[in-house]
Amino acid sequence: MTKHTSIWQHLFKTPHKLEWIDVDGVGTRYLEAGHADAPVVILLHGTAGSLENFSANYAAYARHFRVIGLDMLGCGWTDKPDHDYLINDYVGHVRGFMDALDIAKASVVGVSLGAWVSAALALAYPTRVEKLVLVAPAGIITDPEEEKRYGDAVRKSRSSAAAEPTWEMVSGALKKLMLNPETLSDELIAVRLDIYRDPRMKAAMPRLLAFSLGGQALSEEQWRSLTQPIQVIAAVDAPNMFLGNAYAIARIAPNAQLLELNGCDHWAQYEQPDAFNEHSVAFLQGV
């Protein structure tokens, strides 16, 4: 795969807007592209991420959908309220975002934490969610010990990066999400570094990681009760907890279908954008 060096390379031919909107008192940054009357697809990034995580997907989605990526609660350049953010808080923020933009119903594409929040949103507000695409899904526990180890590692790496944000610290954390670290553009590292250098982020990081302390995962019964069509992305070359999660959800959720992708790890939407865009768009269109 050719290395992409610029977020702008993905966007410069696609009409779009970058805006902030008030969501129940929380200034929320979002990027929107596509026709205003097209079906809505919302993109939710992973832990402590930002809307740039989907830079390789906006243009392809905008040809078919009104596509919107947002910085979730406390993340990116969205405001960072002074309280711990649990899964229901993330869900409430996304639901409030939909209300603020008068979006009655949308499909949701979520990566890692974003997949977890997507599923929880579909459970809490089933009439608001059309379909789900889950990438490196979190929110299901298949191995409690591995879940705890991963949560501990994420809190350590992200807290360290926010406490003393350096290029080396941030790039090291992001490259762990890649099967082939050389595919990660310097620009995405630079954007994340700027976000972590926000004076608010040092205090906010423990709050936006509070969900990882346990007791938040969806039960097997809850996953089984999801009625929406679900596409689950399995990064088959990365045999880790998230691959196990993907297989488990595909087995448990009644309307789930599994898509196995090669050549990627945590960010299938970024490392294999052409395959990801083709298959997820087809699923969301019902092809």
Residue 158 belongs to a domain with what CATH number? 3.40.50.1820
Number of domains in the chain: 1
Segment 40-53 mean pLDDT: 97
Cα 247 from Cα 243, distance rounded (Å): 6
State the pLDDT at residue 1. 45
SS3 56: coil
Evaluate if residue 138 carries a pLDDT over 90.
yes
Sign of CA dihedral 273, 217, 177, 264: negative
Q: Has residue 2 been placed in a domain?
A: no
Cα 64 from Cα 284, distance rounded (Å): 10
State the pLDDT at residue 4. 53
Cα 284 from Cα 108, distance rounded (Å): 9
Mean pLDDT over each residue of the chain, to the nearest integer: 95
Segment 248-260 mean pLDDT: 97
Q: Has residue 186 been placed in a domain?
A: yes
* Domain extent for 126: 7-285
Alpha carbon of 199 to those of 154, 179, 196: distances in Å? 20, 31, 8
Per-residue pLDDT tens digits for 188-229? 999 999 999 999 999 999 999 999 998 999 999 999 999 999
SS3 79: coil
Place of tokens 């992200």: 158
Q: Has residue 65 been placed in a domain?
A: yes
Evaluate if residue 2 carries a pLDDT over 60.
no
Evaluate if residue 30 carries a pLDDT over 50.
yes
Q: Has residue 12 been placed in a domain?
A: yes
Evaluate if residue 42 carries a pLDDT over 70.
yes
Segment 248-259 mean pLDDT: 97
Cβ contact 33:15 at 8 Å: yes
Q: Read off the pLDDT band of 156 (50, 70, 90).
A: confident
User: What would the DSSP string read from start to end of 216-273?
Assistant: -PPPHHHHHH--S-EEEEEETT--SHHHHHHHHHHHHSTTEEEEEESS-SS-HHHHSH
The order of strands in the sheet holding 230-235 is 16-23, 26-33, 66-70, 40-44, 106-111, 129-135, 230-235, 256-261
Evaluate if residue 13 carries a pLDDT over 60.
yes
SS3 90: helix
Cα 129 from Cα 136, distance rounded (Å): 19
Segment 12-31 mean pLDDT: 98
State the pLDDT at residue 150. 87
Evaluate if residue 153 carries a pLDDT over 90.
no
State the pLDDT at residue 188. 95
Evaluate if residue 73 carries a pLDDT over 70.
yes
State the pLDDT at residue 3. 54
Q: Read off the pLDDT band of 242 (50, 70, 90).
A: very high
Instruction: Identify the residue with better confidence: 10 or 4.
Output: 10
